[in-house]
């Protein structure tokens, strides 16, 4: 799911005109959406291989018991 499918449908009427003229950008809207509505977690690892393996487990839902909304592995 791409960020625009989360952000653009939530635009208010007054934001649509600013978005259409470029006064308001998808980058700005996405940044605000992330700051207001999403969270993240991180962990350290001793190698790149270990980091990629942990990432795959997280994206597949194995670690947290659900697939992440953005960038899941199905």
Say how far apart CA 42 and CA 55 lie, in whole Å: 10
- Residue 2, pLDDT score: 56
Residue owning tokens 């947290």: 64
Q: What is the mean pLDDT of each run of 10 residues along the chain (74 residues)?
A: 70 86 90 87 93 95 90 86
Query: Cα separation of 68 and 43, whole Å?
Result: 16
Q: Which of 39, 45, 18 is nearest to 29 (CA)?
A: 18
Question: Domain-by-domain residue ranges, the chain?
Answer: 1-38, 40-74
Residue 4's pLDDT is 63
Q: Which two tokens stand for residue 65?
A: 């018991």
CA 55 from chain centre, in angstroms, equals 15
**pLDDT value, residue 7:** 82
């Amino acid at each position: 799911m791409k960020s625009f499918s989360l952000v653009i449908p939530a635009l208010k009427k007054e934001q649509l005109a600013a978005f259409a003229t470029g006064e308001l950008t998808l980058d700005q809207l996405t940044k605000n959406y992330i700051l207001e509505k999403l969270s993240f977690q991180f962990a350290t690892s001793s190698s790149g291989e270990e980091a990629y393996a942990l990432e795959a487990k997280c994206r597949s839902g194995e670690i947290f018991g659900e697939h992440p909304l953005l960038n899941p592995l199905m």
